[in-house]
Amino acid sequence: MRGPDRRTAVAAGVLFLLTEVAAIAGAVLYRPLLGAAEGRLAPGADTRALLGALCELVLVAAVTGTGAALFPVLRRRGEGMALGYVCGRLLEAALIAVGIVAVLGLVTLRRVSAGAAGGAADAALVAVHDWTFLLGPNIALGANTVLLAWLAYRARLVPRPLALLGLVGGPLICASAVAVMFGLYAQLSVPGSLAALPVFAWELGFAGWLIARGFGPHEQSAADGRRGDRAGHAGSAVRAGSIRPARAS
C-alpha cells in the first residue's frame, strides 16, 4: 500500500508506540511523589514529577493524535463508530490532563507545606490523580480499544487474531477498573497488571502492523480483487462489442 493511507498508517503506528512509552515513563517518574508519605517531598521527587508531567503531556498529544490520524480511514468503514472513537480518545486525553494538573498542584503544595500542614488538600490531589488514572487510561481506554478493534476486525485492517486481542482486552481492562473501584484490589497490583496486558499487547501489535504493513494487506487484496473484477468485466464488454454477427448471403 502506498500513498496517503500508507503515511497515515505509519503516523498512527508511531503515535501508538509513543503513547506506551510516555505512559510508562510518566508512571515511573510519578512514583517518588505519589508513593511518599502524606505531606512529604523526597529529595528530587518534585523534579521527577515535573518530568513525568511533561511525559504525560506528550501522552495527551499522542492519544489525541491517534484519533485524528485514524479518523479518515475509519470513517470509510463506519462514520458513526469512527466519530465515537475520536470522541472517546478526546475524553481519555482530557481525563489524563486533569490528572496532570492534580500532580502539579501536589508538587506545589508539598513545596510550600511542611509535614501534615496541607494534609487534606494533599490527600485530595492524590485521590484526583488516582481517579483520573482509573477513568482515563483504564475505562475510557478499554472502551476505545473495543471500538477500534471492532472496526479493524470488521474491515480487516489488521489480522483478525490481532483484532480479537483488542476485543478481549478492552472489556477485561474495564472490568478490572470496576473491580478496583469497588476495592477488590489496588490499581497498581498483580491482578491489575495482568488485566492490562492484553490491551498493552494489542496496542503494540497494532502499532507494529501499521508501521510494517499498513492497513491490510487483507483490505488491499480485496480492493485489488474488486478492481481486477471491474477491469475483467470491462474487457469482456469490449470484446463482445467487437464481435459483429455475420451477414446472411
Using CA atoms, how far apart are residues 214 and 1, in angstroms rounded to an integer? 7
Average of per-residue pLDDT across 29-57: 83
Measured CA to CA, the distance from residue 165 to residue 20 in angstroms comes to 17
Cell of 22: 510516555
The pLDDT-based confidence of 199 (bands split at 50, 70, 90) is very high
Q: What is the pLDDT of residue 18?
A: 97
pTM: 0.82
| CB-based burial, 155-188: b 16+ in 10 Å, e otherwise | bbbbbeebbebbbbbbebbbebbeebeeeeeebe
Is residue 238's pLDDT more than 80?
Answer: no
* Stated length of the chain: 249
Interacting residues of 14 by C-beta distance below 8 A, sequence separation 6+: 207, 211
Q: Say yes or no to pLDDT of 233 above 70.
A: no
d(CA 19, CA 207): 10
Q: In this structure, are residues 59 and 25 in contact, taking their beta carbons and an 8 Å threshold?
A: no
Between 171 and 46, name the one with better pLDDT: 171
The identity of residue 146, as a single letter, is: V
Rounded mean pLDDT, 82-104: 96
> Which grid coordinates belong to 203?
496496542
Q: Confidence band (pLDDT; 50, 70, 90) for 219?
A: very low
User: What is the Cα–Cα distance from 146 to 132, expressed in whole angstroms?
Assistant: 20
Using only C-alpha atoms, what is the Rg of the chain? 25
